[in-house]
Structure 1
Amino acid sequence: MNWKISPRHALFALLLSFGASGPLLAAPPDCCPPGGVFELRAGHVLRELSRLHDELKLNPQQEALWQEASRFSREGMDAVRTQMRGQRAAALSMLSQPNADLRAIAAQMDEAREAGRKQREANRERWLQVYDSLDAVQKEKARLFVKSRIERMEGGGRFDRPRR
Structure 2
Amino acid sequence: MKSKFSPRILVAAVLLALGVGGTAFAMNPERCGAGGGRMEQRMAYGMKEMSRLHDELKLDARQEAIWQEADKAGKASMNEMRDQRRKQHEEVLAAVSQPGADLRAIARQMDALKDAGRKQHEANRDRWLAVYDSLDATQKEKARLFFKGKIEHMGQWGRFGPGGPPRN
Aligning the two structures, in what range does the TM-score lie when normalised by the shorter sequence?
A: 0.7 to 0.9
Q: Is the alpha carbon distance of 1:112 and 1:135 closer, same or farther for their aligned partners in structure 2, counting shifts above 3 Å? A: same
8 Å Cα contact 1:18/1:73 also seen in 2: no
Deviations 1:73-110 (A, max 9, x none): 00010011111111111111111111111111111110
Q: Distance in 2 between matches of 1:94 and 1:5?
A: 48
Structure 2 counterpart of 1:134:
135
- Structure 1 counterpart of 2:135, which letter? L
TM normalised by structure 2 equals 0.80
Gap regions ≥5 residues in structure 1: 159-164
Spell out, residue by residue over 1:32-57, the C-alpha distance to the aligned partner (whole angstroms, 9 max, x if none).
43xx72x2232121111000000000
Once structures 1 and 2 are overlaid, which stretch shifts more, 20-29 or 79-88?
20-29
Assess, with a 3 A threshold, how the Cα gap between structure 1 residues 51 and 18 changes in structure 2: closer, same or farther.
farther
Cα separation, partners in 2 of 1:93 and 1:157, compared to 1, 3 Å:
farther
Structure 1 segment 3-152 matched on structure 2, within 5 A: 6-7=5-6, 8=9, 10-17=11-18, 20-24=21-25, 25=27, 27-33=31-37, 37=39, 39-152=40-153
Unpaired segments of 5 or more residues in structure 2? 160-168
Which shifted more, 52-61 or 41-50?
41-50
Distance 1:137 1:9 in 2: 16
* Letter of the 1:78 counterpart: N
State how many pairs are aligned.
Answer: 153
CA distance in 1, matches of 2:65, 2:92: 40
- The alpha-carbon distance between structure 1 residues 18 and 142, as it changes in their structure 2 partners (threshold 3 A), is farther
Q: Deviations over 1:9-61 (max 9, x none)?
A: 5522134336744344272222543xx72x22321211110000000000000
Cα distance change on mapping 1:116 and 1:61 into 2, 3 Å: same
Mapped partners of 2:4, 2:79: distance in 1: 31
- 2: distance between equivalents of 1:101 and 1:45? 40
Cα distance, 1:132 vs. partner?
Answer: 0.7
